[in-house]
Structure 1
Amino acid sequence: MKINPKNKFNNLILLIASFVIVSLILWNTNSFFRKFKEEERHKMEIWATAQSELLQSSEDRDLGNLHVKIFQNNTSTPMILVNRDGSIKTNNMPEEEAADSLKIRKKITKFRNENTPIEISYDGETLATLYYGNSEVLNKLKYYPIALLLIILLFGTVIFFFFKTNKASEQNKLWAGMAKETAHQISTPLTSLLGWNELLKQEDLNNAITEEIEKDIDRLQTITERFSNIGSLPKLERLDIVEETRKAYEYLQLRSSRLIRFTFHSKVESLPIMLNAALYNWTIENLVKNGIDAMKGKGSISIEIIPEGKYVNILVSDTGQGIPKSNFQTIFEPGVTSKKRGWGLGLSLVKRIVEEYHKGKIKVLTSSKQGTIMQISLLINP
């Protein structure tokens, strides 16, 4: 598979352009916030000037329509006016807050932190102090950059996982291509071996020899079929789960060390379910070989088939050193292995075969220093 470097360059350009656009929006929003805040400050200064003239005027003096309009138009900015005699006047604040002196003091402190108080004076004499807070619109606008930053973070996370998934998809295609090519390369010498074995049958040889050769040739054909199925949807057939499990068990038993004790038990004699024989046998092989490795070549392997409700459970047990509980999930991830020369692909392939291709489940049922039990659960009637 050929990976086009232009795709990576285009993705990088798209990411940079998106970051620049969002940064400009953030900068523009911040500029708008500061400008809006300055305009509110200017309105408060006009209001303070009108209030100064009001305090200096006599009660019967007509202030004119301009002052009235200034007072009436301010309906959004909360204010607290503290006169020099200590009296307090509030504007655009809830009645319950305006009537509570403790809340008024807290509001004064809050307004002082939000905006610099405006001194209302005349001829060098301070008549009152105006404390004002941000309007509702300004408060909403203040949190907009935070919301935008969260959007940027979410956007970055989506981009990251997109690139990560895209890379994993490319790697999967590469592995699938390599697997299919391997299957193709194996098929040529395999065909030749079939011919040579037929010639051996015609010679005066022990039939057991050619029979064992045939078994190994069948095994190579099975392996070729496995690699050919990688990356494509395998064909499922209604097969006897007991018989297919027994085949995999007997093949591994004959080719394993005599230090390994094999036991097989099924609670039913026959149970047809939808299977892909090559991939299912691969699953059993991987689990058994992992158990043998965990036992360091000496111990007991047990395979048990137990129907339970709509599922049939296949239990593969070993007497190895066990798996830490914290690793029960991670062992199925690609690249995770405890072997010095392992690639960490066996159990990840097993999980994919069971869950994606056969719509089943696989898990570590139990594990301790006395051994591990892996459980495969397949639907009886999917």
Structure 2
Amino acid sequence: MLRQLIGWRFILISIAIIIIVTTIWFVNNLSKEIQAEETKKVAAWVSANKELLTASPDANLNLAIEIITTNTTIPIILTNEEGQIVDHRNLDSAKMARNTRFLPQQLEKFRKQHPPFVMTITDKPLVNNYIYYGDSVILQQIRFYPYVQLIVVTLFIAIVLFALRSNYKATQNQLWVGMSKETAHQLGTPLSSMEAWLEILKENPGSEDIASELKKDVDRLKLISDRFSKIGSVPSLEETELVNQISSMISYIRKRAPQKVTLTESSNEPQILAMICPPLFDWVIENLLKNALDAMEGKGNISINIENHPAHITIDVTDDGKGIPKSMQEKIFHPGFSTKKRGWGLGLSLAKRIIEEYHQGRLYVKWSEQQKGTTFRIWLRK
């Protein structure tokens, strides 16, 4: 599903790039054609004005007058030889009324856009006027169209990717829930049978030690079953003292860790309260500690540091093992990704899900350097 999502993302981005590049090419060609047509219209307008100035009294000026009056879209400013504005056409009168600098600003803008047309008023002495013109509103809108389309296409792709990602997450959630419920259900039947056999064993004299050890394993299996059942539903959070909760899990791991591994714990306060689901939170700590043990290969140090801040709590699990390459620091949380030959790649994925979805916190690699160690950080909102 993840590969399909990445594939769809690549296809959508490729289509978007093709659409945008094609649109920009087409709009640039179209705007050049429209600009050329507008330049011809201004040239015709200038010629019509010249004809009006030089025509004899009995000349037919209907065509010239029509050319002049039909220009209602291209903005024009007429100046004398000293650069003073003599006349203007097709400019926003409301803006001119509000801003006395509007006309000079437009003149400066037109000078940068197009070279002026020269219109001779008299030959002797030679007097010229200069016609400056700008782009019509339609041409300006056409030039902005690719940017508008870029925003629309980007929003469309973002919505589609969000929908695909939401669908992927929903499918993943259904898989987790289904797997968790089925696991809890499958564990339930043999557990009930084992508890019955345990009661029978207790009644036999001389079997007390065996029964005691077997009860620990049964309780452990019941805890695992309880954890899976809670993942399959929305767990309830309760106010819990974190230092003791984590300390008990460290004690459990310490008994099962190699003798050359040292586990230490510290906190900036003796008691720190947090809203957690104890069985699932223990699972996360257990997972991080077991990963640290695997990284050290039988010897080294593991430290757990808990810090209480005004708005949040942090738990850092640090080992001095082989470290995690930067290229893998995000991948290790993906379901199915494992560096172990027999690993399922579900431990860290489940841990991240428990912290981020059920506890509304964060679990991430705070620091890691190859052959020096790794720090995983749990961040919990108060």
CA distance in 1, matches of 2:380, 2:154: 41
- 1:289 is displaced (CA, Å) by 0.8
Answer yes or no: is the 8 Å Cα contact 1:248–1:281 preserved in 2.
Answer: yes
Tell me if 1:76 matches 2:73. Answer: yes
Show the counterpart of 2:48: 50
Provide the secondary structure at the position in 1 that maps to 2:264.
strand
Answer yes or no: is the 8 Å Cα contact 1:90–1:98 preserved in 2.
Answer: no
- 1:248 is displaced (CA, Å) by 1.9
CA distance in 1, matches of 2:45, 2:288: 81
Show the counterpart of 2:372: 370
CA distance in 1, matches of 2:45, 2:198: 105
Alignment of 1:99-138 (within 5 A): 107-108=113-114, 134-138=135-139
CA distance in 2, matches of 1:285, 1:219: 13
Show the counterpart of 1:262: 263
Tell me the number of residue pairs that the alignment of Structure 1 and Structure 2 aligns: 343
Answer yes or no: is the 8 Å Cα contact 1:260–1:299 preserved in 2.
Answer: yes
- 1:298 is displaced (CA, Å) by 2.6
Show the counterpart of 2:350: 349
Answer yes or no: is the 8 Å Cα contact 1:318–1:371 preserved in 2.
Answer: yes
Structure 1 residues 40 and 348, CA gap change in structure 2 (3 angstroms): same
CA distance in 2, matches of 1:42, 1:378: 69
CA distance in 1, matches of 2:176, 2:31: 53
Show the counterpart of 1:222: 223
Cα deviations across residues 32-62 of structure 1 (Å, max 9, x unaligned)?
989987986886586466346436523x567
Show the counterpart of 2:250: 249
Indicate the larger mover: 284-293 or 318-327. 318-327
Structure 1 residues 306 and 70, CA gap change in structure 2 (3 angstroms): closer
Show the counterpart of 1:174: 175
Provide the secondary structure at the position in 2 that maps to 1:143.
helix
- State the one-letter code of the partner of 2:55: S
Answer yes or no: is the 8 Å Cα contact 2:110–2:132 preserved in 1.
Answer: no
- 1:266 is displaced (CA, Å) by 5.4
- State the one-letter code of the partner of 1:77: I
Alignment of 1:146-185 (within 5 A): 146-185=147-186
CA distance in 1, matches of 2:307, 2:143: 63
Provide the secondary structure at the position in 1 that maps to 2:279.
helix
Q: CA RMSD in A?
A: 4.8
Answer yes or no: is the 8 Å Cα contact 1:190–1:220 preserved in 2.
Answer: yes
Q: Percent identity?
A: 40
- State the one-letter code of the partner of 2:347: G
TM-score normalised to structure 2 length: 0.69
Q: Which runs of 5+ in 2 are unaligned?
A: 1-11, 79-85, 92-101, 118-130
CA distance in 2, matches of 1:305, 1:98: 66
Structure 1 residues 135 and 192, CA gap change in structure 2 (3 angstroms): same
Provide the secondary structure at the position in 1 that maps to 2:377.
strand
Answer yes or no: is the 8 Å Cα contact 1:241–1:272 preserved in 2.
Answer: yes
Tell me if 1:293 matches 2:285. Answer: no
Alignment of 1:173-212 (within 5 A): 173-212=174-213
Show the counterpart of 1:314: 315
Cα deviations across residues 157-201 of structure 1 (Å, max 9, x unaligned)?
321331232123112212221221111111111111111111121
CA distance in 2, matches of 1:186, 1:239: 27
- 1:246 is displaced (CA, Å) by 2.8
Structure 1 residues 225 and 140, CA gap change in structure 2 (3 angstroms): same
Q: Which runs of 5+ in 1 are unaligned?
A: 1-14, 82-88, 112-116, 118-129
